[in-house]
Structure 1
């Protein structure tokens, strides 16, 4: 208990709203509660997949699920309620009256209110109100809502407040519980005291480690954690902690701290303050359990609508689109492709002293479409043009060497945005610099340069011949501007290197240190004989692997089979050089492994939803030594279980969230290394002396380029993936490289977040790794930001000072690892070390051999404009190749936005015109009146008989359609031709009838079984009246009606029937609507479009009859004998 003197001291400091307090135990309790809110929480994992949730959401989940996990032994009576800015404007959210209606307890209980925005130090900042009535709480919140507040040096708006019941209790009833996850275990922290007095829980709390995948028992909890808890309470608390851990694990929490938990005298347990983070990538597993969760931005960084727009776009696409606005008035803006590259560019801006001017952080990668890139670029340009700066601004369009993204396609979207903002770009003095490489990069740079010249923007463009971040200091005026490359000269060739002169040496070379006895590191297989099974129909990636194999002069392809469970076993054709080969595709991994026992590598392209099950199955087969998981977004719990299984079976695991790895002369995994021209440019077809390991897949391509230009090339490279828990770590691969005679220089590209670099430091300090190591951790720009920023990868965020990039770079440098001053200096560092080792004889250079020819697929060559051939098919009515489907040039979204309807779509697809609205309506009327004419007509009859024979819908429909002809439904074209020709010839209606009679020709479209002028067919009336009202000319209809007046004199039922009426009205429509010339209209009639309308309309009725017979469960039809005349002898 706090003494009253201490309470007064706190009150005088202004930390608490003390109105209404008295000298009581409750007042002291409130003071403790205030200080507790100000106490910093434990350090916890902070990764992109792991996101903070609001305290109210965490308590709501506890209220919903804790009873289920505890067999109804525990629960939360009240999760509180959240108050948002809607109370300021009821039209934008819930007002106070609505809140009160939903939470009537607010009027009857004493309350606590506090901001719910992940703010530490709320008590010291006067941001907690306790033991108040609803009216007092309402006033307190309204005084602060949407007002700025400074907490811990960070200023931000207060927008969300949590109100919950006040729980009176003694300090002796408070305990501390925290749960968090690690690579190999989950950990529970417990301390028998909670709140502000808990102190340093890292040092004093009891800990219980639960290995990944294992369960925890109440006995374990009591013996390891609760030894200082009163015996009468330990059993209850053990049951609670066990249930809480089940809740934590099943709902994929990554961090959960409750400080304190009130263990009341009646054995009721109440969580008071809660901090929680959830693995968002588990949404596909837990969405129903989570419900609607809010993922708030960190306090102190405004949530921009532009960020929400890009986040929404990211959720709708397979690409990766991220945007964080750091300083909307900043001068340096970036538009970077690739997660790793985006960090490198931000680092470089910061390293050159411009960190405070860095306006945004983000990435666009994973092959976004042209339209998605346009939206992303448009969003950035709109933000840049919001505020002017007298000295202008800079836009850095950058990225690593893409693996599979078509650079030209994305740049088309970028150029579209530049055209939209061209005038504003010039008005705001925005200087644009671009460095890009990857598939079709040359075409992309050409397009950008042409557009820049046309718009007068002065964009500077560079390709892979320029270091990835070189444009940053050039743009900022800190280094000399390099000449732009000649874009007409073709793709960048492999760099030419002069042989380095070797200095005279005396003395033997240093012997390589042997691996300590008993030490084992992860097995990753990569030899010229390594063979792989690929899961998923990734034909492009497999072809790339085979092309790499062929360039490396492998004797056999590295891929021996593919697995695709959604089709039967079959073969797929691939190229081996210029020859064609067949690779088998199996429906199960089991069959693939049984038939290809030489396969030791499993490359899994399954989606994040199914990758866990498929990988776990593959690891059950003893032949597998390496598994690569390409998918991004695998839940951390599943990754940790896969790691456990892989290490138990001594299987090397690369990924998740990786592009793979490459070993020149042996194998490449999937798209690693990019397109073949990049393989050649980086000389990845033969081994060099530098072995690297990186987290980023895109940056591994960049490392290939850097290494090739500053040494004799890559020995092996692996991208371990950007998740917090990669299947294999830096140390696993660097130990392999240490033991490999061909690897002379080891290169590590780490990043902010995680502790894996410290394993390497230990190995270097102990002498286990004695080869020269060059290392750099990206993410040094993090120190420039007041709030936490999630960088491109899931693991790229520090959870403590030692995990910052600057701390790791300093620690590696202290250990003797070669650390450049910045990433921009990495090429120079590699070059200097390589030159030194060659001069000293540590590396023996060999003359460069012949550069292999690059086989180019026809599809890609055509895209690049290198080849042409006549097409086998020509289509002018629809196109599905672009951003969205188009009907005769009209996008499907425009079809709906213009409400064109079925008639409008038919006019586009049949006539290649957008007809007037009345014409589209008439087409729809034709379809409606021809939809059906009862079950007795021949087409419907056939359909019914076929359906009753048990045939499928298509067979029944075809049976009915095959009856359409001159006697049933097929008279429309002939009627139109007959009446049009007669009208056009100038003959009178009477002469036309007489002439037809003399020639013994039936007049098509005239006659009905029962209808007459006195009893007209309403279908004819509807069609005729519409045509008379809306069509500009009805001459052929008038001629047909004149014919009708003559034919009905002979017989009353020789009227103009529905076929004839549709035929003549449609002919008038085509001739008079203004969309066609007379010649075009006549040609369309000759093509049979009128019969097509009948076929289309009547298909609706035929399908209806088929479904009707199934609904009525009618048996096989057999015609009755008594309705058949059997003739035994011919007359």
Structure 2
């Protein structure tokens, strides 16, 4: 998410809609023009010229201007303006250029969008220039009394006004600050326009708005002729309705590939981050990189080794994408790779930093599936695969993908965190000898203890000056505690495990805040012991109960993080606030920064993973899983303090520092937004004052000017400790058009903000700057070795690696432990992306139109039965659905409903009446008739045997029905069975019994319960899906009674709803229907 440009038409449409409101009706934009797209070339499309004229009748009534609307600068000088023409002339001018290639300066692209708007007659003297843009602490307005294509260097000659965040402007201030050179008679109208324009700019979350020329006519009306604008995309949840329908156009010369549109669409539908930009579809080097910062580093390294012209794509996937999302992303890249062949083959570099919380094995499952589906193409196009990845469950992921590569016969090299993040790049390009592949049979462990460095100049410990006070961010110690906002149990448990490993005496988390669940406790582990963490419903309560907590870790979403952070600023005891959320609107961030600095509260974030200080505290998920904490020796303090923008790259810095020095003293990821709450300098000055921080390390990136503050601090002597620095994004020079890198702030707004310019300036200032990021580990080693040799760093003996009990859930996922399951289920699976009924995905249930009978067959019988069987099941449910309100079950349901009981209670009341005398005889009837039929006994003998044994024949007998007056339910069931089942042996036997019993009494017929029972057993036996023993099991399990319960529940619920609908009162049985007996016959007189 970032600041993004919009089309001129969309910007003017917003002005037309909102300017009257913000100016109290003084100013308005009469027309935003109309957009012409390639649809006019296709007569089958609705958006044709006739419709355009119908919607915009003014097109034939006046002179017009036509121009491309594709983020093209200096259109006039490029000959891309059609001025003062009628509609037919503009139409012809557009048709001559539509979908044609056009070169503007050094960029070539296809013209696809044009804007037609009214021509505004005016004098040159009526043209002016205005620009609004945003900075960290203010918004700036530039105004020049002259405008147009030849306005020149407005930055140098325009009047400027800086408006502090949260400050309002007035017409008087505008006149005094901007309009000194404007004619007196124009000042009032122009000042009111600028005030309204600034309100519009702020309310709709613009980040840049330039109008040139801005024409002020003799009647005082103000008309924007040419407009360029950028809005803060992260404010979509606030401004979507205000913005209206619009699109995010690609830069001119960067026509989006269908694959890019596909990934962009997928990105908008998921909580993960998926980005793809195709740079050169014929290039040989393709990357699939996890992490925003890591994606830039890989592109940089390819470019720094001289292969920038072969870099085919830029992109990243992060934020724990699902297996299916990773599959789609990988498959898309492979499809692009295999579009064109290259005689020397191609390289697919699958890389990434050490993840904080993304399950590497889970994402690699999707990647493996993509490789399996594309194995023939990968071989045909001679694609070599190089992999380097680390993070949670990385060993399992690397093992699986290596096994897949061997099984598929793909040329593949696999590495883990034992190698530098970009080490695979020079190896893939043949510029460096291949390192041995990772040993995937053992888990990660700390790097080997470094060889002892010989001290050449032993020094006595120097007396260090007292740290300078005034830092807004509190430097943590082993007693620092925090409050966590949000039910982030996994993050809190990780913080407690880190504390325990660092041998803290008490946890660093005092409490959690969750406003929706009421006050309660959550159980966590402190080592092997269980502890209860209080969860409060408000920040106020948490702070009152835990006044010693000085750190507030805010996991609120981007929608509510401004509100919660602002509330936290009201409590003086909270000295540092960490904002984890990505996608916070820039204006909200600026407001938080302003309030925090006024109260001297430090801010880390937004869009940060947090920070870590070995031995003291970790903020959130910083440092990743415990195995990474161990591998990077973050459980004890080292001598190198770093600041990074990227959270993922902070883990890589931990790894680099651990392998090339004595470890990390402290590390902070300030976040990748344009306006981070704290800057590089804020932390570097803390490190300068911290006695334990001997070496400072800075990882900056393209965009912004914060690195220049560090340069000035070095030059002025504020920073004197050895400083190593690198700015990622040097690959930007390889791109013909502007590319938005992984972070919102990773975009240069001028030459000074490019990575190359900042690296050059830092080197000239005496800062240690490597030749490329790939050389950073060597430089850390050199600076550290020199300081040890000179006695500035004294190496300490390495203590044994501490251990923390592994969480059972994670250990089980890694396959380290096993435990008998408490429950076993073989009929449904709610894991994965889609619910499954006995292996059949829910989507397939509907595609195959299985119906209720099909679903019941899957869940009850673990079979997908034939259609005639599932239809019969549905018939049973329909036949048994109800039998009127007089039966016992319906009666109980009705009485309960009228007593005011809820639906579930009333339904249960009815269901509890089902038994041998009401609906519960189906299983006994099925068992009785099936056993008799299989024994070969004759129906008459069966009846005689049951009589001699004094047993009732289940399923025989009805209160009023007979052979002459049959029960239609029985007729329907019987006829369906006879027509559709392969055998009806048990039904035939039961009908034989009926012939015997009806001779004794006419109503001793095969009733509906008996008919359903025998027909259902005939169905099971004849459908070919079950053995005799399985059929017997279903009878024993009560399956047939279950059908009655399921079917009759429909009727019971109907009766409940019917009673409520009719508003029936409490039922009381009438006395005259009750016989009150005081004395039973046969009782003695004394009784």
The TM-score range, normalised by the shorter chain, is: over 0.9
Counterpart of 1:45 in structure 2 is none
Contact (CA 8 Å) 1:513, 1:768: kept in 2 or not? Answer: no
Q: Does 1:468 align with 2:421?
A: yes
1:177 and 1:415, CA in 2 relative to 1: closer, same or farther beyond 3 A?
same
Counterpart of 2:292 in structure 1 is 339
Q: Does 1:950 align with 2:903?
A: no
1:1120 and 1:359, CA in 2 relative to 1: closer, same or farther beyond 3 A?
same
Q: Does 1:1039 align with 2:989?
A: yes
For residues 173-225 of structure 1, the C-alpha deviation after alignment (integer angstroms, 9 at most, x for no partner) is: 33322222211112222223332243322222222322212222333333323
Deviation at residue 589 of structure 1 after TM alignment? 1.5
1:624 to 553, 574, 580: 574
1:259 and 1:992, CA in 2 relative to 1: closer, same or farther beyond 3 A?
farther
Contact (CA 8 Å) 2:295, 2:352: kept in 1 or not? Answer: yes
In the alignment, the residues of structure 1 paired with residue 134 and residue 186 of structure 2 have an alpha-carbon distance, to the nearest angstrom, of 27
3-state SS of 1:565 partner: coil
Q: 1038-1047 or 217-226, which moves further after superposition?
A: 1038-1047
3-state SS of 1:329 partner: coil
In the alignment, the residues of structure 2 paired with residue 513 and residue 907 of structure 1 have an alpha-carbon distance, to the nearest angstrom, of 80
1:90 and 1:509, CA in 2 relative to 1: closer, same or farther beyond 3 A?
farther
In the alignment, the residues of structure 2 paired with residue 101 and residue 1047 of structure 1 have an alpha-carbon distance, to the nearest angstrom, of 84
1:968 and 1:846, CA in 2 relative to 1: closer, same or farther beyond 3 A?
same
Contact (CA 8 Å) 1:525, 1:600: kept in 2 or not? Answer: no
Counterpart of 1:574 in structure 2 is 524
Q: 409-418 or 726-735, which moves further after superposition?
A: 409-418
In the alignment, the residues of structure 2 paired with residue 815 and residue 549 of structure 1 have an alpha-carbon distance, to the nearest angstrom, of 39
For residues 635-662 of structure 1, the C-alpha deviation after alignment (integer angstroms, 9 at most, x for no partner) is: 1111111111211111111011111000
Counterpart of 1:364 in structure 2 is 317
3-state SS of 2:727 partner: strand
In the alignment, the residues of structure 1 paired with residue 203 and residue 1061 of structure 2 have an alpha-carbon distance, to the nearest angstrom, of 45
1:1016 and 1:266, CA in 2 relative to 1: closer, same or farther beyond 3 A?
farther
In the alignment, the residues of structure 2 paired with residue 1013 and residue 63 of structure 1 have an alpha-carbon distance, to the nearest angstrom, of 83
Counterpart of 1:810 in structure 2 is 760
Q: Which runs of 5+ in 2 are unaligned?
A: 1082-1087
In the alignment, the residues of structure 1 paired with residue 974 and residue 27 of structure 2 have an alpha-carbon distance, to the nearest angstrom, of 76
For residues 8-33 of structure 1, the C-alpha deviation after alignment (integer angstroms, 9 at most, x for no partner) is: xxxxxxxxxxxxxxxxxxxxxxxxxx
Q: 604-613 or 1033-1042, which moves further after superposition?
A: 1033-1042
Deviation at residue 454 of structure 1 after TM alignment? 1.2
Counterpart of 1:87 in structure 2 is 40
Counterpart of 2:380 in structure 1 is 427
Counterpart of 2:824 in structure 1 is 874
Taking the TM superposition and a 5 Å limit, the aligned residue runs for 1:909-924 are 909-924=859-874
2:602 to 648, 652, 657: 652
Deviation at residue 584 of structure 1 after TM alignment? 1.2
Q: Does 1:447 align with 2:447?
A: no
For residues 1029-1053 of structure 1, the C-alpha deviation after alignment (integer angstroms, 9 at most, x for no partner) is: 3332233333334444454555554
Contact (CA 8 Å) 1:947, 1:1109: kept in 2 or not? Answer: yes
For residues 131-167 of structure 1, the C-alpha deviation after alignment (integer angstroms, 9 at most, x for no partner) is: 2333322222222221111112111111111222222
Q: Does 1:486 align with 2:439?
A: yes
For residues 350-388 of structure 1, the C-alpha deviation after alignment (integer angstroms, 9 at most, x for no partner) is: 000000111111111122222221111111111111111
1:1022 and 1:633, CA in 2 relative to 1: closer, same or farther beyond 3 A?
farther
Contact (CA 8 Å) 2:445, 2:630: kept in 1 or not? Answer: no
Structure 1 vs Structure 2 CA RMSD: 2.1
In the alignment, the residues of structure 2 paired with residue 254 and residue 896 of structure 1 have an alpha-carbon distance, to the nearest angstrom, of 48
3-state SS of 2:109 partner: strand
Q: Does 1:225 align with 2:214?
A: no
Q: Does 1:531 align with 2:481?
A: yes
2:637 to 651, 662, 687: 687
2:836 to 886, 890, 894: 886
Counterpart of 2:1084 in structure 1 is none
Deviation at residue 615 of structure 1 after TM alignment? 1.5
Counterpart of 2:127 in structure 1 is 174
Counterpart of 2:278 in structure 1 is 325
Contact (CA 8 Å) 1:525, 1:626: kept in 2 or not? Answer: no
Counterpart of 1:17 in structure 2 is none
1:110 and 1:971, CA in 2 relative to 1: closer, same or farther beyond 3 A?
farther
Q: Does 1:795 align with 2:745?
A: yes
3-state SS of 2:914 partner: coil
1:348 to 298, 301, 304: 301
3-state SS of 1:487 partner: coil
In the alignment, the residues of structure 2 paired with residue 93 and residue 314 of structure 1 have an alpha-carbon distance, to the nearest angstrom, of 29
Contact (CA 8 Å) 1:522, 1:733: kept in 2 or not? Answer: no
**Aligned residue pairs, count:** 1081
Counterpart of 1:15 in structure 2 is none
Counterpart of 1:3 in structure 2 is none
For residues 913-970 of structure 1, the C-alpha deviation after alignment (integer angstroms, 9 at most, x for no partner) is: 1222332233233333333333333323322332333332222222222222223222
1:197 and 1:704, CA in 2 relative to 1: closer, same or farther beyond 3 A?
same
1:1084 to 1006, 1023, 1034: 1034
3-state SS of 2:550 partner: strand
Deviation at residue 501 of structure 1 after TM alignment? 0.8
1:1118 to 1061, 1068, 1072: 1068
3-state SS of 1:235 partner: helix
Deviation at residue 1016 of structure 1 after TM alignment? 4.4
Deviation at residue 467 of structure 1 after TM alignment? 0.7
Deviation at residue 792 of structure 1 after TM alignment? 0.8
Deviation at residue 839 of structure 1 after TM alignment? 0.7
Contact (CA 8 Å) 1:121, 1:152: kept in 2 or not? Answer: no
Contact (CA 8 Å) 2:703, 2:748: kept in 1 or not? Answer: yes
In the alignment, the residues of structure 1 paired with residue 461 and residue 482 of structure 2 have an alpha-carbon distance, to the nearest angstrom, of 38
In the alignment, the residues of structure 2 paired with residue 1017 and residue 134 of structure 1 have an alpha-carbon distance, to the nearest angstrom, of 81
Counterpart of 2:264 in structure 1 is 311
Deviation at residue 986 of structure 1 after TM alignment? 2.5
3-state SS of 1:548 partner: helix
Q: Does 1:418 align with 2:365?
A: no
Deviation at residue 802 of structure 1 after TM alignment? 0.5
In the alignment, the residues of structure 2 paired with residue 1010 and residue 165 of structure 1 have an alpha-carbon distance, to the nearest angstrom, of 88
In the alignment, the residues of structure 1 paired with residue 762 and residue 388 of structure 2 have an alpha-carbon distance, to the nearest angstrom, of 30
Contact (CA 8 Å) 1:465, 1:492: kept in 2 or not? Answer: no
For residues 433-490 of structure 1, the C-alpha deviation after alignment (integer angstroms, 9 at most, x for no partner) is: 1111111111111111111111111210111111110100000000111111222233
Contact (CA 8 Å) 2:552, 2:576: kept in 1 or not? Answer: yes
Contact (CA 8 Å) 1:495, 1:681: kept in 2 or not? Answer: no
Q: 914-923 or 761-770, which moves further after superposition?
A: 914-923
Q: Does 1:143 align with 2:67?
A: no
1:753 to 699, 703, 718: 703
Q: Does 1:289 align with 2:239?
A: no
3-state SS of 2:532 partner: strand
1:511 and 1:776, CA in 2 relative to 1: closer, same or farther beyond 3 A?
farther
In the alignment, the residues of structure 2 paired with residue 1049 and residue 57 of structure 1 have an alpha-carbon distance, to the nearest angstrom, of 89
Q: Does 1:1029 align with 2:982?
A: no
2:649 to 690, 699, 705: 699
Q: 446-455 or 241-250, which moves further after superposition?
A: 241-250
1:384 to 326, 337, 358: 337
In the alignment, the residues of structure 1 paired with residue 661 and residue 859 of structure 2 have an alpha-carbon distance, to the nearest angstrom, of 59
1:1003 and 1:252, CA in 2 relative to 1: closer, same or farther beyond 3 A?
farther
1:805 and 1:90, CA in 2 relative to 1: closer, same or farther beyond 3 A?
same
Contact (CA 8 Å) 2:76, 2:149: kept in 1 or not? Answer: no
1:1056 and 1:673, CA in 2 relative to 1: closer, same or farther beyond 3 A?
same
In the alignment, the residues of structure 2 paired with residue 1070 and residue 777 of structure 1 have an alpha-carbon distance, to the nearest angstrom, of 72
For residues 862-911 of structure 1, the C-alpha deviation after alignment (integer angstroms, 9 at most, x for no partner) is: 12221112222211112223233222222223323333232222222211
1:210 and 1:1118, CA in 2 relative to 1: closer, same or farther beyond 3 A?
farther
Deviation at residue 856 of structure 1 after TM alignment? 0.9
Q: Does 1:730 align with 2:676?
A: no
Counterpart of 1:111 in structure 2 is 64
Deviation at residue 329 of structure 1 after TM alignment? 0.9
Contact (CA 8 Å) 2:467, 2:690: kept in 1 or not? Answer: no
Deviation at residue 108 of structure 1 after TM alignment? 3.0
TM-score, structure 1 normalization:
0.92
Deviation at residue 787 of structure 1 after TM alignment? 0.6
3-state SS of 1:431 partner: strand
Contact (CA 8 Å) 1:85, 1:93: kept in 2 or not? Answer: no
1:103 and 1:874, CA in 2 relative to 1: closer, same or farther beyond 3 A?
same
In the alignment, the residues of structure 2 paired with residue 1014 and residue 123 of structure 1 have an alpha-carbon distance, to the nearest angstrom, of 98
2:1012 to 1062, 1068, 1078: 1062
